[in-house]
Amino acid sequence: DAGVIQSPRHEVTEMGQEVTLRCKPISGHDYLFWYRQTMMRGLELLIYFNNNVPIDDSGMPEDRFSAKMPNASFSTLKIQPSEPRDSAVYFCASRSPGLAGTGELFFGEGSRLTVL
């Protein structure tokens, strides 16, 4: 069974450009999470969805960040306009309904974003 799939794996862009990161969760998983990894803050939660509905977006840094989940098999995280301080690794994770009690998440390999 395929794991969480993220694209692109690497993205280098210039300040002010729009960036779109994509995620395909594991089939049957009902929760989807976007996390960002930085040296200073470790893994910080940006937003998460349950059954395609955003539940908590309080971690989204600014209005420049937006996320959507149009269906159960696809989500996007968009940054517009991008800034150098957005440079980080962005992870998508999903969770099985059967593991809700344990909280165990399955992560993708991440999208490394560099904003010049």
Partner 1 sequence: DQQVKQNSPSLSVQEGRISILNCDYTNSMFDYFLWYKKYPAEGPTFLISISSIKDKNEDGRFTVFLNKSAKHLSLHIVPSQPGDSAVYFCAAGAGTGRRALTFGSGTRLQVQP
Q: Which residues bind partner 1 (CB under 8 A)?
A: 4, 33, 35, 40-45, 48, 50, 56, 91, 93, 95, 99-110
The minimum distance between CB 25 and partner 1, in angstroms, equals: 13
The minimum distance between CB 64 and partner 1, in angstroms, equals: 21
Provide the token pair at 20.
């779109």
The minimum distance between CB 10 and partner 1, in angstroms, equals: 10
Output phi, psi for 27, to 5 deg.
Answer: -60, 135
Residues 6+ apart with CB under 8 A from 104: 95, 96
The minimum distance between CB 81 and partner 1, in angstroms, equals: 27
Please choose, from the candidates 35, 83, 81, 27, the residue with its C-alpha nearest in 3D space to the C-alpha of residue 56.
Answer: 35
Of residues 70 and 103, the one with the C-beta less far from partner 1: 103
Provide the token pair at 87.
């440079």
Of residues 44 and 81, the one with the C-beta less far from partner 1: 44
Of residues 17 and 27, the one with the C-beta less far from partner 1: 27
Half-sphere exposure of residue 109: CA atoms within 13 angstroms, side-chain side: 8
